[in-house]
A and B are shown apart, each in its own frame.
Chain A
């Protein structure tokens, strides 16, 4: 696809994780992000492997699979992989492309550098993790 920085910024602006970021921060994240295309059935991330980045789906569809359970379906604008950025531990789930899928990828070290510069981004990430925690606990209760 070969997106320009401006086009990447346009994508990121709509991703909840990057809401409210000042333009220069958004530009930095856009510049650092790489565009990667995955063929259908390809593992974008693999459960149990130490992760090294965060992904944002910008085209296509991917499925989140934990063990043999389908946990979620992800489409354009949604992100995943942020937990391993924080704690550098193995991925909790695999994310498998269901069709040819394009993602913007942000390496852990770049994301962490940006979090350290941007309290707003850190707060968004905190909120995202809290949401996931709430969802995980709700599932556990049923």
Chain B
């Protein structure tokens, strides 16, 4: 462990405390430092990286960093093509990942990703007090008190970036015979085994892909059918990389995909029998196997936060949050990182945003911190004036190139507001859900959306008389460039009522 004198942020009073040193915590801390807000960052881990210190087990990440695109790596536009780097304003701190990856793939390995988060923290000066475990929480007047293994921290606001990585498994009878995904061993130890994997989401398919070579038979089971991301036009569903077991199952090669619920697991000597009930006809279906692994998911380790009013929902026990990632039940408690997936946004056609992944969560963290410091420390964000004649081009350019809009479609938007004094100001990147449901002065927001046919197009939301009444689509474009005469005309017509 680092000598005490070198460990930053000793227990005490801070305006803000960040808990967690994964992508969410590091990104939030960076934003706080650039806004000049004094804060502490604590983490139970010995080093940065969060979930990427352990996961994924097999294969590379599912998110890409493309080294060669039409934009220089040091630009904002490049961020869209690099889903793995944390975001910075300074050019020298941008695009950390392409510099670290070994060039054999556009998908980083787990160690490369872990190194990327640590490198970003080092380069940007984000420090963390490691080996400091958050153990409990209390209120003291208008302050929160964090009890940690090193002592107490007091803060006006706390940002929890603790991930959704606490293993969760249903307490089915016989669950003691079932290992969780997190306890998966080296592939060689599964040679020749008959495996039963509970869960048909990415972690289940990741295991099946990773152990396909060793296992003599793999059954993947869960009550509902698996979906493929290529069909959902989003990151929801099994990603392309893990589809091998699916293809294997279709062709009858030794992988079996079952829609059934697991009722019981029994041990008979050295084998296990998994008693399932089929979803299609309700018939019992027992399977004799050597090992059962539950890829059934994870929960958010919120400890005693529910006692402070943080309400949670869902199997993952995510907190209920505002559109700026503040707890609804306990204002002053904020969340960063993958926990942000609990803010659904508009979710048109059921298509989710990328808030659970780094490339979505990094923008959410920046937005959350901006709103936090505005609300609690009076730091007003810049809203530069925009000339009326420039509004349309600004918005169309954003729709064409803004990484926030492309990585968080129909979730983040670029907005321009007409203040009461008649000045038109650039509001920067905003939460689309917050924009469409808040009253306020006349304004327009543009984002990029996908519909149920897979068509990608800009969408425009105009607020007039305090209300956003409809969503207008602009035409899609084969190369996604919306800076055309036709688009200008269409957008001009939409914004004219509020600009004149």
The reply to whether A and B meet directly (CB within 8 Å) is no
Interface, chain A (partner B; CB < 8 A):
none
Q: Which residues in B have some Cβ–Cβ distance to A below 8 Å? A: none
